[in-house]
Structure 1
Protein backbone atom coordinates (compact mmCIF):
# COMPACT_ATOMS: atom_id res chain seq x y z
CA UNK A 1 0.00 0.00 0.00
CA UNK A 2 1.04 3.60 -0.57
CA UNK A 3 0.77 6.32 2.05
CA UNK A 4 0.45 10.08 2.23
CA UNK A 5 1.72 12.08 5.22
CA UNK A 6 -0.71 14.64 6.57
CA UNK A 7 1.60 17.46 7.56
CA UNK A 8 -1.06 19.12 9.65
CA UNK A 9 -0.16 16.52 12.31
CA UNK A 10 3.17 14.96 11.28
CA UNK A 11 6.53 16.76 11.61
CA UNK A 12 4.89 19.94 12.90
CA UNK A 13 8.12 20.80 14.74
CA UNK A 14 9.78 22.03 11.55
CA UNK A 15 9.05 24.39 8.64
CA UNK A 16 6.71 22.94 6.03
CA UNK A 17 9.37 22.44 3.31
CA UNK A 18 11.48 20.49 5.80
CA UNK A 19 8.43 18.44 6.80
CA UNK A 20 7.97 17.52 3.14
CA UNK A 21 11.59 16.38 2.99
CA UNK A 22 11.10 14.34 6.18
CA UNK A 23 8.04 12.64 4.69
CA UNK A 24 10.04 11.71 1.62
CA UNK A 25 12.90 10.34 3.72
CA UNK A 26 10.41 8.22 5.70
CA UNK A 27 9.03 6.57 2.58
CA UNK A 28 5.75 8.42 1.98
CA UNK A 29 4.82 8.93 -1.67
CA UNK A 30 2.58 11.96 -1.12
CA UNK A 31 1.74 14.69 1.38
CA UNK A 32 -1.39 16.61 2.30
CA UNK A 33 -1.94 19.78 4.28
CA UNK A 34 -4.39 21.37 6.68
CA UNK A 35 -3.73 25.12 6.43
CA UNK A 36 -0.37 25.74 4.75
CA UNK A 37 -1.09 29.36 3.88
CA UNK A 38 1.59 30.90 6.10
CA UNK A 39 4.22 29.19 3.94
CA UNK A 40 4.70 30.69 0.47
CA UNK A 41 3.36 28.34 -2.18
CA UNK A 42 6.58 28.59 -4.15
CA UNK A 43 8.54 27.21 -1.17
CA UNK A 44 6.18 24.26 -0.88
CA UNK A 45 6.29 23.65 -4.63
CA UNK A 46 10.10 23.72 -4.58
CA UNK A 47 10.22 21.07 -1.84
CA UNK A 48 7.70 18.93 -3.72
CA UNK A 49 9.71 19.21 -6.92
CA UNK A 50 12.92 18.38 -5.05
CA UNK A 51 11.48 15.24 -3.44
CA UNK A 52 9.13 14.13 -6.19
CA UNK A 53 6.23 13.85 -3.73
CA UNK A 54 2.65 14.47 -4.83
CA UNK A 55 0.52 17.05 -3.02
CA UNK A 56 -2.91 15.52 -2.48
CA UNK A 57 -4.88 18.39 -1.00
CA UNK A 58 -5.37 21.43 1.21
CA UNK A 59 -8.20 22.55 3.50
CA UNK A 60 -10.14 25.78 3.32
CA UNK A 61 -9.43 28.01 6.30
CA UNK A 62 -11.32 27.44 9.54
CA UNK A 63 -12.49 31.01 10.07
CA UNK A 64 -13.61 31.47 13.67
CA UNK A 65 -14.80 27.86 13.89
CA UNK A 66 -14.15 24.74 11.85
CA UNK A 67 -14.93 26.12 8.42
CA UNK A 68 -17.34 28.53 6.79
CA UNK A 69 -19.20 26.88 3.96
CA UNK A 70 -22.37 25.80 5.79
CA UNK A 71 -22.80 29.11 7.62
CA UNK A 72 -25.78 31.11 6.31
CA UNK A 73 -24.90 34.77 5.89
CA UNK A 74 -21.19 34.01 5.42
CA UNK A 75 -21.32 33.11 1.74
CA UNK A 76 -18.89 35.82 0.61
CA UNK A 77 -16.36 34.83 3.29
CA UNK A 78 -16.77 31.13 2.49
CA UNK A 79 -16.32 31.64 -1.23
CA UNK A 80 -13.25 33.79 -0.67
CA UNK A 81 -11.80 30.94 1.41
CA UNK A 82 -12.61 28.47 -1.35
CA UNK A 83 -10.91 30.65 -3.94
CA UNK A 84 -7.86 31.02 -1.67
CA UNK A 85 -7.59 27.24 -1.29
CA UNK A 86 -8.03 26.65 -5.03
CA UNK A 87 -5.32 29.19 -5.86
CA UNK A 88 -2.88 27.67 -3.37
CA UNK A 89 -3.65 24.13 -4.56
CA UNK A 90 -3.02 25.11 -8.16
CA UNK A 91 0.24 26.83 -7.22
CA UNK A 92 1.63 23.70 -5.53
CA UNK A 93 0.20 21.25 -8.07
CA UNK A 94 -2.40 19.73 -5.77
CA UNK A 95 -5.51 18.15 -7.24
CA UNK A 96 -7.96 18.52 -4.35
CA UNK A 97 -9.46 21.01 -1.92
CA UNK A 98 -11.29 20.01 1.26
CA UNK A 99 -14.16 22.48 1.77
CA UNK A 100 -14.79 22.68 5.50
CA UNK A 101 -18.43 23.09 6.50
CA UNK A 102 -18.18 24.67 9.95
CA UNK A 103 -20.44 24.60 12.99
CA UNK A 104 -24.05 24.84 11.82
CA UNK A 105 -27.31 22.92 11.62
CA UNK A 106 -30.66 23.01 9.89
CA UNK A 107 -32.08 23.33 6.41
CA UNK A 108 -30.63 26.76 5.71
CA UNK A 109 -27.15 25.54 6.61
CA UNK A 110 -27.66 22.54 4.35
CA UNK A 111 -28.70 24.72 1.42
CA UNK A 112 -25.77 27.07 2.00
CA UNK A 113 -23.30 24.18 2.04
CA UNK A 114 -24.68 22.75 -1.19
CA UNK A 115 -24.45 26.09 -2.99
CA UNK A 116 -20.91 26.76 -1.79
CA UNK A 117 -19.84 23.30 -2.96
CA UNK A 118 -21.31 24.02 -6.38
CA UNK A 119 -19.34 27.27 -6.37
CA UNK A 120 -16.14 25.33 -5.60
CA UNK A 121 -16.78 22.75 -8.31
CA UNK A 122 -17.60 25.38 -10.90
CA UNK A 123 -14.47 27.43 -10.08
CA UNK A 124 -12.13 24.42 -10.11
CA UNK A 125 -13.55 21.91 -12.59
CA UNK A 126 -10.17 20.18 -12.85
CA UNK A 127 -10.01 19.48 -9.10
CA UNK A 128 -11.63 17.12 -6.63
CA UNK A 129 -13.70 18.98 -4.06
CA UNK A 130 -13.73 16.97 -0.84
CA UNK A 131 -16.17 16.99 2.07
CA UNK A 132 -15.40 15.20 5.32
CA UNK A 133 -17.72 14.08 8.13
CA UNK A 134 -16.22 14.84 11.55
CA UNK A 135 -17.19 13.03 14.74
CA UNK A 136 -19.25 14.81 17.38
CA UNK A 137 -16.74 14.20 20.18
CA UNK A 138 -13.81 16.02 18.56
CA UNK A 139 -15.96 18.57 16.71
CA UNK A 140 -19.30 18.98 18.53
CA UNK A 141 -21.73 20.96 16.42
CA UNK A 142 -19.97 20.36 13.11
CA UNK A 143 -22.47 20.34 10.26
CA UNK A 144 -21.34 17.13 8.52
CA UNK A 145 -21.12 14.05 10.74
CA UNK A 146 -21.88 10.82 8.85
CA UNK A 147 -21.11 9.17 5.53
CA UNK A 148 -24.84 8.89 4.79
CA UNK A 149 -25.27 12.66 5.20
CA UNK A 150 -22.22 13.27 3.00
CA UNK A 151 -23.57 11.02 0.26
CA UNK A 152 -26.87 12.90 0.35
CA UNK A 153 -25.07 16.23 0.03
CA UNK A 154 -22.93 14.92 -2.85
CA UNK A 155 -26.05 13.73 -4.70
CA UNK A 156 -27.73 17.13 -4.35
CA UNK A 157 -24.65 19.15 -5.31
CA UNK A 158 -24.85 17.22 -8.59
CA UNK A 159 -21.30 17.94 -9.75
CA UNK A 160 -18.86 15.22 -10.79
CA UNK A 161 -15.99 16.81 -8.88
CA UNK A 162 -17.39 16.61 -5.34
CA UNK A 163 -16.27 13.55 -3.37
CA UNK A 164 -16.17 12.11 0.14
CA UNK A 165 -13.08 12.30 2.33
CA UNK A 166 -13.47 8.93 4.05
CA UNK A 167 -11.69 9.33 7.38
CA UNK A 168 -11.66 5.94 9.11
CA UNK A 169 -11.10 7.56 12.51
CA UNK A 170 -14.13 9.85 12.37
CA UNK A 171 -16.44 7.32 10.72
CA UNK A 172 -15.55 4.52 13.14
CA UNK A 173 -16.54 6.79 16.03
CA UNK A 174 -19.76 7.91 14.34
CA UNK A 175 -21.03 4.53 13.22
CA UNK A 176 -18.40 1.83 12.93
CA UNK A 177 -18.98 -1.03 10.50
CA UNK A 178 -16.24 0.43 8.30
CA UNK A 179 -16.16 -2.50 5.90
CA UNK A 180 -19.77 -1.91 4.90
CA UNK A 181 -19.30 1.86 4.83
CA UNK A 182 -16.31 1.49 2.52
CA UNK A 183 -18.26 -0.74 0.16
CA UNK A 184 -21.31 1.53 0.15
CA UNK A 185 -19.35 4.75 -0.27
CA UNK A 186 -16.69 3.57 -2.72
CA UNK A 187 -18.26 5.24 -5.80
CA UNK A 188 -18.09 8.67 -4.14
CA UNK A 189 -14.83 8.40 -2.18
CA UNK A 190 -12.12 10.84 -3.23
CA UNK A 191 -9.58 10.21 -0.47
CA UNK A 192 -9.15 7.89 2.52
CA UNK A 193 -7.49 8.84 5.81
CA UNK A 194 -6.75 6.84 8.95
CA UNK A 195 -5.73 6.97 12.60
CA UNK A 196 -6.21 4.76 15.63
CA UNK A 197 -9.44 4.89 17.62
CA UNK A 198 -10.01 6.39 20.13
CA UNK A 199 -6.60 8.04 20.66
CA UNK A 200 -6.14 9.28 17.07
CA UNK A 201 -2.61 7.93 17.12
CA UNK A 202 -0.63 5.67 14.80
CA UNK A 203 -2.66 2.82 13.26
CA UNK A 204 -0.90 0.00 15.11
CA UNK A 205 -2.88 0.52 18.33
CA UNK A 206 -6.45 1.06 19.50
CA UNK A 207 -9.75 -0.69 18.94
CA UNK A 208 -9.77 -0.63 15.14
CA UNK A 209 -7.96 -3.40 13.24
CA UNK A 210 -6.17 -1.82 10.31
CA UNK A 211 -5.03 -5.29 9.25
CA UNK A 212 -8.67 -5.83 8.33
CA UNK A 213 -9.44 -2.31 7.12
CA UNK A 214 -6.42 -2.01 4.81
CA UNK A 215 -7.02 -5.50 3.43
CA UNK A 216 -10.60 -4.51 2.59
CA UNK A 217 -9.44 -1.28 0.95
CA UNK A 218 -7.02 -3.29 -1.20
CA UNK A 219 -9.72 -5.85 -2.03
CA UNK A 220 -11.97 -3.03 -3.24
CA UNK A 221 -9.27 -2.02 -5.71
CA UNK A 222 -8.30 1.31 -4.13
CA UNK A 223 -4.87 2.33 -5.44
CA UNK A 224 -4.44 5.93 -4.29
CA UNK A 225 -2.23 6.76 -1.29
CA UNK A 226 -3.94 6.48 2.09
CA UNK A 227 -3.63 9.56 4.29
CA UNK A 228 -1.84 9.15 7.63
CA UNK A 229 -3.68 11.82 9.61
CA UNK A 230 -2.79 10.89 13.16
CA UNK A 231 -1.34 12.69 16.18
CA UNK A 232 2.10 11.31 17.10
CA UNK A 233 2.62 10.65 20.81
CA UNK A 234 6.34 11.34 20.39
CA UNK A 235 8.74 12.40 17.64
CA UNK A 236 7.03 11.57 14.34
CA UNK A 237 9.85 9.35 13.11
CA UNK A 238 9.57 7.22 16.24
CA UNK A 239 5.92 6.43 15.46
CA UNK A 240 6.43 5.07 11.94
CA UNK A 241 6.95 1.38 12.72
CA UNK A 242 3.54 0.59 11.21
CA UNK A 243 4.74 1.58 7.73
CA UNK A 244 7.02 -1.44 7.29
CA UNK A 245 4.10 -3.70 8.23
CA UNK A 246 1.53 -2.28 5.85
CA UNK A 247 3.67 -1.06 2.98
Structure 2
Protein backbone atom coordinates (compact mmCIF):
# COMPACT_ATOMS: atom_id res chain seq x y z
CA UNK A 1 0.00 0.00 0.00
CA UNK A 2 1.40 3.39 -0.99
CA UNK A 3 1.59 5.99 1.79
CA UNK A 4 2.17 9.66 1.00
CA UNK A 5 4.25 12.24 2.83
CA UNK A 6 3.69 15.99 2.47
CA UNK A 7 6.89 17.89 1.77
CA UNK A 8 6.26 21.09 3.72
CA UNK A 9 9.12 22.86 2.02
CA UNK A 10 6.70 23.28 -0.91
CA UNK A 11 3.21 22.52 0.41
CA UNK A 12 1.39 25.03 2.64
CA UNK A 13 4.35 27.39 2.54
CA UNK A 14 2.12 30.27 3.64
CA UNK A 15 1.82 28.64 7.08
CA UNK A 16 4.35 28.17 9.84
CA UNK A 17 5.58 24.60 10.16
CA UNK A 18 3.37 23.48 13.08
CA UNK A 19 0.26 24.76 11.27
CA UNK A 20 1.38 23.10 8.03
CA UNK A 21 1.81 19.79 9.85
CA UNK A 22 -1.76 20.01 11.13
CA UNK A 23 -3.03 20.90 7.65
CA UNK A 24 -1.21 17.89 6.17
CA UNK A 25 -2.92 15.64 8.69
CA UNK A 26 -6.32 17.08 7.82
CA UNK A 27 -5.62 16.52 4.11
CA UNK A 28 -4.95 12.81 4.62
CA UNK A 29 -1.15 12.61 4.43
CA UNK A 30 0.44 9.84 6.50
CA UNK A 31 3.74 11.63 7.17
CA UNK A 32 5.54 14.92 6.64
CA UNK A 33 9.02 16.05 5.63
CA UNK A 34 10.63 19.45 5.28
CA UNK A 35 13.59 21.36 3.85
CA UNK A 36 15.20 23.90 6.21
CA UNK A 37 13.14 24.24 9.41
CA UNK A 38 15.81 25.96 11.49
CA UNK A 39 13.93 29.21 12.05
CA UNK A 40 10.97 27.32 13.47
CA UNK A 41 10.67 26.63 17.19
CA UNK A 42 11.59 22.97 17.58
CA UNK A 43 9.35 22.53 20.60
CA UNK A 44 6.30 23.77 18.70
CA UNK A 45 7.14 21.53 15.74
CA UNK A 46 7.52 18.49 17.97
CA UNK A 47 4.23 19.28 19.71
CA UNK A 48 2.42 19.41 16.37
CA UNK A 49 3.93 16.08 15.35
CA UNK A 50 2.85 14.47 18.61
CA UNK A 51 -0.64 15.98 18.34
CA UNK A 52 -1.18 14.73 14.80
CA UNK A 53 0.70 11.44 15.13
CA UNK A 54 2.56 12.14 11.88
CA UNK A 55 6.19 11.07 11.60
CA UNK A 56 8.69 13.69 10.38
CA UNK A 57 10.63 11.75 7.79
CA UNK A 58 13.52 14.13 7.24
CA UNK A 59 15.08 17.54 6.81
CA UNK A 60 17.99 19.04 4.86
CA UNK A 61 21.32 20.42 5.96
CA UNK A 62 21.53 24.17 5.35
CA UNK A 63 22.34 25.48 1.89
CA UNK A 64 25.22 27.64 3.13
CA UNK A 65 25.82 31.31 3.75
CA UNK A 66 27.32 32.38 0.42
CA UNK A 67 25.54 33.42 -2.77
CA UNK A 68 24.84 30.37 -4.91
CA UNK A 69 25.30 27.81 -2.13
CA UNK A 70 23.12 24.73 -2.40
CA UNK A 71 24.74 22.58 0.23
CA UNK A 72 28.33 22.30 1.37
CA UNK A 73 29.29 18.67 1.91
CA UNK A 74 31.17 18.23 -1.39
CA UNK A 75 32.68 21.72 -1.52
CA UNK A 76 36.47 21.69 -0.96
CA UNK A 77 37.74 24.22 1.54
CA UNK A 78 34.46 24.48 3.42
CA UNK A 79 34.65 21.31 5.44
CA UNK A 80 34.24 23.06 8.79
CA UNK A 81 31.06 24.78 7.62
CA UNK A 82 29.73 21.52 6.19
CA UNK A 83 30.28 19.63 9.42
CA UNK A 84 28.74 22.40 11.47
CA UNK A 85 25.67 22.21 9.20
CA UNK A 86 25.53 18.42 9.62
CA UNK A 87 25.75 18.73 13.39
CA UNK A 88 23.04 21.39 13.37
CA UNK A 89 20.76 19.19 11.27
CA UNK A 90 21.17 16.20 13.56
CA UNK A 91 20.58 18.34 16.64
CA UNK A 92 17.35 19.68 15.15
CA UNK A 93 16.35 16.18 14.03
CA UNK A 94 16.89 14.96 17.58
CA UNK A 95 14.78 17.81 18.95
CA UNK A 96 11.77 17.09 16.76
CA UNK A 97 12.20 13.34 16.25
CA UNK A 98 12.97 13.44 12.52
CA UNK A 99 14.02 10.12 11.05
CA UNK A 100 16.61 11.22 8.47
CA UNK A 101 18.97 14.01 7.47
CA UNK A 102 19.55 14.82 3.82
CA UNK A 103 23.20 15.88 3.55
CA UNK A 104 23.29 18.31 0.64
CA UNK A 105 26.36 17.93 -1.55
CA UNK A 106 26.44 21.40 -3.08
CA UNK A 107 28.25 22.78 -6.08
CA UNK A 108 31.85 21.57 -6.24
CA UNK A 109 32.58 23.08 -9.66
CA UNK A 110 35.57 21.57 -11.44
CA UNK A 111 37.47 20.83 -8.22
CA UNK A 112 38.49 17.19 -8.39
CA UNK A 113 38.64 16.97 -4.62
CA UNK A 114 34.84 17.13 -4.37
CA UNK A 115 34.34 13.37 -4.23
CA UNK A 116 36.82 12.78 -1.43
CA UNK A 117 35.47 15.75 0.54
CA UNK A 118 31.89 14.52 0.14
CA UNK A 119 32.70 11.00 1.27
CA UNK A 120 34.65 12.22 4.31
CA UNK A 121 31.73 14.42 5.34
CA UNK A 122 29.30 11.56 4.79
CA UNK A 123 31.37 9.34 7.09
CA UNK A 124 31.12 12.09 9.69
CA UNK A 125 27.34 12.24 9.20
CA UNK A 126 27.02 8.45 9.37
CA UNK A 127 28.88 8.41 12.69
CA UNK A 128 26.29 10.85 14.06
CA UNK A 129 23.47 8.80 12.58
CA UNK A 130 24.78 5.58 14.09
CA UNK A 131 24.59 7.14 17.53
CA UNK A 132 21.08 8.46 17.05
CA UNK A 133 19.39 5.70 15.05
CA UNK A 134 18.76 8.07 12.15
CA UNK A 135 19.42 7.75 8.41
CA UNK A 136 21.68 9.83 6.18
CA UNK A 137 20.21 10.54 2.75
CA UNK A 138 21.96 11.76 -0.39
CA UNK A 139 19.96 13.01 -3.36
CA UNK A 140 20.98 13.25 -7.02
CA UNK A 141 19.75 16.62 -8.32
CA UNK A 142 19.43 17.53 -11.97
CA UNK A 143 21.80 20.08 -13.49
CA UNK A 144 19.06 22.07 -15.17
CA UNK A 145 17.56 23.17 -11.86
CA UNK A 146 20.86 23.35 -9.96
CA UNK A 147 23.79 23.75 -12.38
CA UNK A 148 27.03 22.35 -11.07
CA UNK A 149 25.49 20.24 -8.30
CA UNK A 150 28.05 17.57 -7.40
CA UNK A 151 25.67 14.61 -7.13
CA UNK A 152 23.71 14.27 -10.36
CA UNK A 153 22.90 10.60 -11.01
CA UNK A 154 21.51 7.61 -9.18
CA UNK A 155 24.48 5.56 -10.36
CA UNK A 156 26.90 8.04 -8.83
CA UNK A 157 24.98 7.95 -5.55
CA UNK A 158 24.85 4.15 -5.56
CA UNK A 159 28.60 3.96 -6.09
CA UNK A 160 29.16 6.22 -3.07
CA UNK A 161 26.83 4.12 -0.93
CA UNK A 162 28.68 0.96 -2.01
CA UNK A 163 32.14 2.43 -1.34
CA UNK A 164 31.29 3.73 2.11
CA UNK A 165 29.38 0.57 3.06
CA UNK A 166 27.61 2.30 5.92
CA UNK A 167 24.15 0.97 6.80
CA UNK A 168 23.08 4.48 7.81
CA UNK A 169 23.58 5.85 4.27
CA UNK A 170 20.76 5.69 1.70
CA UNK A 171 19.68 7.32 -1.55
CA UNK A 172 16.80 9.77 -1.86
CA UNK A 173 15.26 8.65 -5.17
CA UNK A 174 13.57 11.78 -6.49
CA UNK A 175 11.63 10.78 -9.59
CA UNK A 176 11.50 14.36 -10.85
CA UNK A 177 15.28 14.84 -10.82
CA UNK A 178 16.01 11.34 -12.07
CA UNK A 179 13.60 11.58 -15.00
CA UNK A 180 15.21 14.84 -16.15
CA UNK A 181 18.77 13.57 -15.81
CA UNK A 182 18.52 9.90 -16.74
CA UNK A 183 14.98 8.60 -17.21
CA UNK A 184 14.30 4.84 -17.13
CA UNK A 185 12.82 5.28 -13.66
CA UNK A 186 11.51 1.81 -12.93
CA UNK A 187 14.67 0.00 -14.07
CA UNK A 188 16.86 2.34 -12.04
CA UNK A 189 14.65 1.98 -9.00
CA UNK A 190 14.70 -1.82 -9.17
CA UNK A 191 18.45 -1.93 -9.79
CA UNK A 192 19.25 0.19 -6.75
CA UNK A 193 16.28 -0.56 -4.52
CA UNK A 194 18.36 -1.96 -1.67
CA UNK A 195 20.17 1.38 -1.37
CA UNK A 196 17.06 3.58 -1.60
CA UNK A 197 15.81 5.14 1.64
CA UNK A 198 13.10 7.48 0.39
CA UNK A 199 11.18 8.30 -2.82
CA UNK A 200 9.85 11.68 -3.94
CA UNK A 201 7.58 12.68 -6.82
CA UNK A 202 6.57 15.73 -8.85
CA UNK A 203 5.38 16.34 -12.40
CA UNK A 204 8.03 16.51 -15.13
CA UNK A 205 8.93 19.01 -16.44
CA UNK A 206 6.75 21.47 -14.49
CA UNK A 207 7.44 20.19 -10.94
CA UNK A 208 3.76 20.80 -10.21
CA UNK A 209 1.25 18.23 -8.91
CA UNK A 210 2.13 14.73 -10.19
CA UNK A 211 -1.11 14.46 -12.19
CA UNK A 212 0.41 16.03 -15.32
CA UNK A 213 3.53 15.71 -17.44
CA UNK A 214 5.54 12.88 -18.88
CA UNK A 215 5.66 10.42 -15.94
CA UNK A 216 2.69 8.06 -15.49
CA UNK A 217 2.86 7.99 -11.71
CA UNK A 218 -0.14 5.72 -11.05
CA UNK A 219 1.56 2.92 -13.01
CA UNK A 220 5.06 3.73 -11.74
CA UNK A 221 4.06 3.78 -8.08
CA UNK A 222 2.08 0.56 -8.50
CA UNK A 223 5.27 -1.01 -9.88
CA UNK A 224 7.31 0.31 -6.93
CA UNK A 225 4.73 -1.23 -4.60
CA UNK A 226 4.85 -4.54 -6.48
CA UNK A 227 8.65 -4.51 -6.21
CA UNK A 228 8.30 -4.45 -2.43
CA UNK A 229 8.94 -0.81 -1.62
CA UNK A 230 7.25 -0.17 1.73
CA UNK A 231 8.43 3.37 2.49
CA UNK A 232 6.61 6.64 2.01
CA UNK A 233 6.26 8.56 -1.24
CA UNK A 234 7.19 12.20 -0.66
CA UNK A 235 5.00 14.78 -2.42
CA UNK A 236 7.73 17.31 -3.20
CA UNK A 237 6.08 19.48 -5.80
CA UNK A 238 5.24 23.17 -6.25
CA UNK A 239 1.45 23.52 -6.25
CA UNK A 240 -0.14 25.21 -9.24
CA UNK A 241 -2.28 27.25 -6.82
CA UNK A 242 -3.55 26.63 -3.30
CA UNK A 243 -2.22 23.34 -1.96
CA UNK A 244 -5.74 22.14 -1.05
CA UNK A 245 -6.98 22.70 -4.58
CA UNK A 246 -4.45 20.31 -6.09
CA UNK A 247 -4.79 17.21 -3.92
CA UNK A 248 -7.19 15.20 -6.07
CA UNK A 249 -4.21 13.18 -7.33
CA UNK A 250 -3.99 11.42 -3.94
CA UNK A 251 -7.41 9.85 -4.50
CA UNK A 252 -6.73 9.14 -8.16
CA UNK A 253 -3.42 7.40 -7.32
CA UNK A 254 -4.87 5.29 -4.46
CA UNK A 255 -3.63 1.70 -4.60
Q: Which residue in 2 is equivalent to 1:233?
A: 240
Determine whether 1:95 maps to 2:106: no
Deviation, 1:178, is 0.4
Q: Which residue in 2 is equivalent to 1:9?
A: 10
CA RMSD of aligned residues (A): 0.8
Deviation, 1:124, is 1.8
- Using the alignment, how far apart are the partners of 1:184 and 1:103 within structure 2? 27
- Using the alignment, how far apart are the partners of 1:145 and 1:25 within structure 2? 35
- Using the alignment, how far apart are the partners of 2:163 and 2:89 within structure 1? 23
Determine whether 1:111 maps to 2:113: no
Q: Which residue in 1 is equivalent to 2:59?
A: 58
Determine whether 1:198 maps to 2:205: yes
Determine whether 1:130 maps to 2:137: yes
Which of these residues, 149, 160, 184, is aligned with residue 156 of structure 2? Answer: 149
Q: Which residue in 2 is equivalent to 1:40?
A: 41
Determine whether 1:218 maps to 2:219: no
Determine whether 1:72 maps to 2:79: no
Q: Which runs of 5+ in 1 are unaligned?
A: none
Deviation, 1:158, is 2.3
Q: Which residue in 1 is equivalent to 2:173?
A: 166
Deviation, 1:36, is 0.4
- Using the alignment, how far apart are the partners of 1:157 and 1:83 within structure 2? 20
Q: Which residue in 1 is equivalent to 2:126?
A: 121
- Using the alignment, how far apart are the partners of 1:214 and 1:93 within structure 2? 27
Determine whether 1:245 maps to 2:252: yes
Superposed CA offset, 1:81-139 (max 9, x none): 00000011111111100000000144300000000000000112111100000001100
Q: Which runs of 5+ in 2 are unaligned?
A: none
Kept after mapping to 2: 8 A contact 1:115/1:157: no
TM-score where L is the length of structure 2: 0.95
4+ residue runs of structure 1 moved beyond 2 angstroms? none
TM-score where L is the length of structure 1: 0.98
- Using the alignment, how far apart are the partners of 2:164 and 2:231 within structure 1? 24
- Using the alignment, how far apart are the partners of 2:88 and 2:98 within structure 1? 13
- Using the alignment, how far apart are the partners of 1:61 and 1:100 within structure 2? 8
Kept after mapping to 2: 8 A contact 1:41/1:92: yes
Q: Which residue in 2 is equivalent to 1:139?
A: 146
Q: Which residue in 2 is equivalent to 1:27?
A: 28
